[in-house]
Structure 1
Amino acid sequence: MNLTEQVLLAKQGDREAFIAVVKQVESSLYHTARSILKKEEDIADALQETILKAFKSLHSLREPQFFKTWMFRILINECNKIVANRSRNVLMDEFPIQLSLSPKDELIDLRDAVERLDEQQRLVIVLHYFEDMPLRQVAEILEISESAAKMRLSRARNNLMEKLHTFREGKIHYGSI
């Protein structure tokens, strides 16, 4: 049974079908939330709220084939609420006292570099490359035009290349952390 058929069953009240469709997208939702929030407890809160809201409002989903896009939109809204409500204070134990590059740092993971991008660019990279979504779907999730999504993706790739180059040279600026 494909995702659309399971969503139709879930809309009719089949809880097992809803659990099955959530399980199909949970890994992608987790990685997207992680790219926005970073903290596991915030990620867990966002995922829980997303699933709860999706369950409560599943009847309002008009096009079952867009279930995944709909879930991502709910998740991004929940993540943005958490970010907005987060305290602006930086705890001293979270602030890096000394920043040095070791040979291990030179082998920076691509995902780490992506996580250093600003949120708009990070989201377009995560959705397009890590979640393998076409630009049209990325644009729908982010509620922007397809050309705006292409522009963000282009800027994100350029910034990512710049960050990777900076890391390789051993130059880390506090503003880019």
Structure 2
Amino acid sequence: MKRPVLVSIVVLMSLLSSCTGYPRFLNFPFDPGGRSLNSPNSELSPQVNAPYIVFVSDRNGSQDVYLFDARRRQLIDLPGLNTLDEIASHPAISEDGRYIVFAGSRQGRADIYLYDRETQQKRNLTENLPAEVRNPTISTDGSRIAFEVAKNGQWDILVCDRNGQLLNIPGNAR
């Protein structure tokens, strides 16, 4: 039973591998007005995929997803992404910066959302999944999304495409 889980994790790691280079220290100036990466507010779950840094912050009074362009040293607008009735967490971004995936909670239910910066559209990938979900990540090309799902009393990993369709990966079942 443990062997398929190990194989699934190895397959998942190869599908979603986006770590390049070595650990590095990023230093950006502090901006008390909240227009930069560093602000007096909570910045949670940063994920770096050069030149982009995606993170969650409460700088506007709600827990929203933000995108920072490290080359231009400025925040990027994300029209249609954040809503007042949603609490965002654990964002991740594709290598080209087009797709952002995150967990969003509304009225006590968490779902996994995919935002396309090109079309400015947000899609709920797990609205028909009767289970708790968390911790999404996205492949470098933005074609695959993996996340944890609690079903039958344990946490498992599911992998789907950008449309929310499960991929044929061992151990990937609803």
Range into which the TM-score falls when normalised by the shorter chain: under 0.3
| Structure with the bigger percentage of helix | 1
| Structure with the bigger percentage of strand | 2
Which structure carries more relative contact order (alpha carbon 8 Å, separation 6+)? 1
What TM-score, normalized by structure 2, do the two folds share?
0.28
What TM-score, normalized by structure 1, do the two folds share?
0.27
Answer with 1 or 2: which has the greater Rg: 1
